[in-house]
Structure 1
Amino acid sequence: MKRVLFGLAIGAAAVVVAGCGNMGDKSTASAEAPAGGAKAAAPLVAKSGTNTGGRVTFDQQAGGTLVTVSVTGLAPGSSHGFHIHEKGDCSAPDAMSAGGHFNPTGKPHGQMSSGDHHAGDMNNLTADANGNVRVQFVMKEVTVTPGGTSVIGRAVVVHKDPDDYRTQPTGNSGGRIACGVVAAL
């Protein structure tokens, strides 16, 4: 009986030691799992004479970047194009200072949930009966951490009209009614 217990104890110790083998090796851990926990936010400011405002947050997770959107001041039931733009500049009254859609991979404009599209293309926002939007979704083409696909220093723009997901390069989504610069939290 003692031999069996001793054998089990040695086997358990071997499992514990094997499980701890890479604890101090940070390069192995980071190579196996993408960095997570990086967060950013963009407060949306009204543009083009509207009352539209809100906040967009970005939370990098293992499966992509979780985007949480809260927008107010829209017409009830209305739909609006929604994009990440290349420049973090919302200084112009019409937000044209934010430049074009964020497109680091040179793809055509399209719908986020199907086929090729700009990294900054997101699906249309649809306001509820009170003119508000509350939605969450995951983007796989952008990150919060530094690099060529990072949203930090970019702008988030709500457009006047819905995106048709076809017209190049903008989706024919009209003027810019809210804009916010994305900054790390």
Structure 2
Amino acid sequence: MTMKTLNYFLFIGAVSLAVACGPGANNSEESATDRLEITENQMDNMESETDTAEQTAMAVLSGASGSEVSGTATFTQTAEGKVKLVLSVNNLSTGKHAVHLHENGDCSAEDASSAGGHWNPADDEHGKRGENEFHAGDIDNLTVGEDGIGSLVMVVDGWSIGDGEDSDILNKAVIIHAEADDFTSQPSGAAGSRVACGVIQEST
């Protein structure tokens, strides 16, 4: 092979390599940029969804005063700024039982006395929610069937979750009492002993 022929083939090879790699490299760079932009958009969407996610909290209820009550209370901040409570219990005696939020998130005492009194930051009289004066922690009576199961759903105005204000329900205790609340007797509606207790904690 002559030197001229060798140079010709080298030239053709170099041109072919440039044609193959040039556009391919550019396309790869554009594709990578597109992928980066998509990823950033997805991240922005995820952050936006996180910012608008509902605030939620939960209390796991356990028996107190020798009872075997169990259950859960879930709390969800609504778009209207209220809090939806969904309470479900098992192994509770048939009939009506008072439910309150108490000031201390502490269920360590056997009779749940460690939870303190009703949550009442405004120092109001005890009563029925929505009628005259009532404590921030006043809720309602829970009705339990013969199977020992009861549930209560309420949307409460004046509560919040995790904002550190006087309306914040976190680290309060959900207390279920042995008797119904008469909504009149001070300071707690003559509801009897505390048969279940659970601390409200932010859901993760």
Paired residues, what number? 150
> CA 1:139–1:124 in structure 2 vs 1: closer, same or farther (change >3 Å)?
same
Alpha-carbon RMSD across the aligned residues, in angstroms, is: 1.3
1:85 to 93, 102, 106: 102
1:15-26 superposed matches below 5 A:
none
- Structure 2: how far apart are the matches of 1:70 and 1:182? 14
The residue aligned with 2:162 is 145
Shift of 1:141: 2.0
- Structure 2: how far apart are the matches of 1:132 and 1:95? 21
The residue aligned with 1:38 is 55
The residue aligned with 2:194 is 176
Structure 2 unpaired stretches of 5+: 1-51
> CA 1:116–1:48 in structure 2 vs 1: closer, same or farther (change >3 Å)?
same
- The answer as to 2:172 corresponding to 1:157 is no
- The answer as to 2:148 corresponding to 1:131 is yes
2:55 aligned partner, one-letter code: A
TM-score, normalization by structure 2: 0.71
The residue aligned with 2:79 is 62
Q: Any runs of at least 4 consecutive aligned residues in structure 1 with deviations exceeding 6 A, and if so which?
A: none
* Maintained 8 Å contact 1:36/1:61: no
> CA 1:113–1:127 in structure 2 vs 1: closer, same or farther (change >3 Å)?
farther
1:85-143 Cα distance to aligned partner (Å, 9 max, x none): 00000000000000000011111101124222001001100102311112211111211
1:171 is paired with a residue whose SS is: coil
* Maintained 8 Å contact 1:36/1:62: no
Shift of 1:58: 0.6
Shift of 1:43: 0.1
2:191 aligned partner, one-letter code: S
Shift of 1:36: 6.9
* Maintained 8 Å contact 2:97/2:143: yes
> CA 1:67–1:169 in structure 2 vs 1: closer, same or farther (change >3 Å)?
same
- Structure 1: how far apart are the matches of 2:190 and 2:79? 33
* Maintained 8 Å contact 2:73/2:86: yes
2:114 is paired with a residue whose SS is: helix
Identity over aligned residues, as a percent?
Answer: 37
Structure with the largest fraction of helix:
2
| Higher RCO by CA contacts (8 Å cutoff, separation 6 or greater) | 1
- The answer as to 2:136 corresponding to 1:119 is yes
- Structure 1: how far apart are the matches of 2:59 and 2:174? 7
1:111 aligned partner, one-letter code: K
> CA 1:36–1:66 in structure 2 vs 1: closer, same or farther (change >3 Å)?
farther
- The answer as to 2:140 corresponding to 1:100 is no
Between structure 1 and structure 2, the one with the greater Rg is 2
- Structure 2: how far apart are the matches of 1:90 and 1:49? 13
> CA 1:130–1:113 in structure 2 vs 1: closer, same or farther (change >3 Å)?
farther
